[in-house]
């Protein structure tokens, strides 16, 4: 069997030259909203994000980052064949904004976007990423005051 590979460079919101309903499978790992290392990449695409973060408005920044990803999901939906599949590697974020530590649930926000497009979720892959940090906390026993469970996994969402 002969395979041909075509590389298309550009923003994932507009993949030029890929006809509608022509793709069987999309596999992707987007930047993760609210993970600090991706703030700059998101901020370049919508300046409101860095303003919201600086103002301590974490949930608003989270939502604007996801609205950028929503445009990518629309493009994936445009190119996927009916019954096509998409696999998305995404991790949730834990972050303190304005003295408020919380989980930003990226995987559930992405699932919601796909449900709006009529996709069906299939069993996902939980990708364990264990840490050796001495202060990690998981399991039974007394929860120390102010402690939180160490985040040690990412998701590979699978949708049809
Ligand atoms: C979590 S990393 C995934 C890296 C990838 N798995 C690899 O091995 O190169 C997310 C990548 O998405 C890129 N990115 C961010 N916004 C993008 C956009 N609008 N269109 C295409 N790529 C984008 C980032 O620059 C980064 O390289």
- Residue 49, SS3? helix
Nearest ligand 1 atom to the CA of 28 is: 6
Q: What distance in angstroms lies between residue 102's CA and the mean position of ligand 1's atoms?
A: 25
Give 130 or 29, the one with higher predicted confidence.
29
If one looks up domain 23-159 in CATH, what number appears? 3.40.50.150
pLDDT at 147 over 80: no
pLDDT beyond 70 at 76: yes
**Sheet of strand 80-90, all strands in order from the earlier edge strand to the far edge:** 23-28, 80-90, 153-159, 121-128
Pick the residue whose CA is nearest to atom 6 on ligand 1.
29
Ligand 1 touching residue 29 (CB < 6 A): yes
Contact 155, 107 (CB under 8 A): yes
Domain boundaries, the chain: 23-159
pLDDT tens digit sequence for 16-51: 999 999 999 999 999 999 999 999 999 999 999 999
Which protein residue has the closest C-alpha to ligand 1 atom 18? 11
**What tokens appear for 57 in the block?**
């408005």
Give the C-alpha separation, 20 to 41, whole Å. 27
For atom 17 of ligand 1, the residue with the nearest CA is 11
pLDDT in tens, 51-73: 999 999 999 999 999 999 999 99
């Amino acid at each position: 069997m002969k395979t041909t590979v075509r590389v298309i460079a550009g923003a994932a919101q507009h993949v030029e030259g890929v006809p509608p309903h022509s793709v069987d499978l999309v596999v992707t790992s987007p930047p993760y909203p609210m993970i600090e290392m991706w703030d700059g990449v998101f901020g370049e695409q919508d300046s409101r994000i860095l303003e919201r973060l600086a103002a301590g408005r974490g949930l608003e920044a989270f939502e604007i980052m996801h609205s950028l990803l929503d445009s990518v999901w629309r493009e994936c939906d445009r190119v996927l064949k009916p019954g096509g599949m998409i696999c998305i590697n995404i991790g949730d974020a834990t972050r303190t904004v304005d003295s408020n530590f919380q989980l930003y649930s990226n995987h559930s926000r992405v699932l919601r976007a796909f449900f709006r497009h009529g996709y069906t979720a299939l069993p996902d892959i939980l990708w364990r990423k264990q840490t050796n940090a001495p202060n990690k906390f998981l399991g039974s026993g007394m929860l120390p005051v102010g402690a939180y469970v160490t985040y040690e996994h990412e998701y590979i969402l699978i949708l049809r």
